[in-house]
Amino acid sequence: MNKQEEALSSSAVTDTLAELGRYFYSRGWVLGTSGNFSAVIQSEPLRLAITASGVDKGALTTEQILQIDADGRVVAGSGRPSDEARLHTAVVKARGAQAVLHTHSVWSTILSEAHASAGGVGICGYEMLKGLAGVKTHEHREWLPIIENSQDMPALAGTAEETLAKHADAHGFLLRGHGLYTWGSSLAEAKRHVEILEFLLEVVGRTQQNT
Ligand SMILES: [Zn+2]
């Protein structure tokens, strides 16, 4: 890929990330400045486009998306990367993900508290599970592990790495009282995983409320 093509694809990535942010905001999944999104621009060495810290996702612009290296240093753009950048690089390394999307939705918050003692949320029997990469049947059981929330980002990233290694089939994980992390082999797949998992979490949450 020549330099011009690289620049084009990186601007297409930032356009898509900004668009996704505004769309997720409209669905109520990233209200205020919550949530953060990233996508791989280049693998070797890693260059990750990621949302800047503290920006309103309902009005997210391409200027609010930076590029960082594998150590979280800003290599393009201005501002500070999201505080959770270490979690994004941990997921990229562990899963070979091309995009990592993180929401702070009502249902991920409620269920991550309600199921904390079980260590995860099990989801089975729903047709929508087939929207997750590699899943062919509604009989699939998706286990979304729950990680205790922390403001200590290096420690949280370490726990996330252990969780990802232990639950090699998981398509996402929950931070307790905080939100959902999911990823994909492309930005489109990661977006689909947010939609599918948010749908499933809402179904599980509403069903439990009614029993
Ligand atoms: Zn968060």
Q: What is the pLDDT of residues 141-191, one digit of tens each?
A: 999 999 999 999 999 999 999 999 999 999 999 999 999 999 999 999 999
Cα–Cα distance, 59 to 177 (Å, whole number) = 25
In this predicted structure, what is the pLDDT of residue 54?
93
**Predicted local confidence at residue 207, as pLDDT:** 95
- Output the CA 57–ligand 1 centroid distance in Å: 12
CA of 179 to the centre of ligand 1 (A): 6
CB 77 within 8 A of CB 38: no
Q: How far is the CA of 163 from the centre of ligand 1 (A)?
A: 17
Q: 208 is written with which tokens?
A: 């439990």
What's residue 8's pLDDT? 52
Taking the centre of ligand 1 as the mean of its atom positions, its distance from the CA of residue 119, in whole angstroms, is 19
Q: What per-residue confidence (pLDDT) applies to 101?
A: 98
> Ligand 1 mean position to 36 CA, how many Å?
7
pLDDT higher than 90, residue 211: no
Q: How many helices (H) and strands (E) does the chain have?
A: 5, 9
Given this model, what pLDDT does residue 61 score? 96
Q: How far apart are CA 41 and CA 70, in angstroms?
A: 12
178 Cα: distance to centroid of ligand 1 (angstroms)? 6
Tokens of 51: 């949302």
Contact predicate 100/190, CB 8 Å = yes
Q: Tell how far the Cα of 136 is from the centroid of ligand 1, in angstroms.
A: 30
Q: How far is the CA of 102 from the centre of ligand 1 (A)?
A: 7
What is the CA(146)–ligand 1 centre distance, in A? 14
How far apart are alpha carbons 158 and 155 in whole angstroms? 5
pLDDT grade, residue 109 (50/70/90)? Answer: very high
Q: Are 144 and 173 in contact (CB under 8 A)?
A: yes
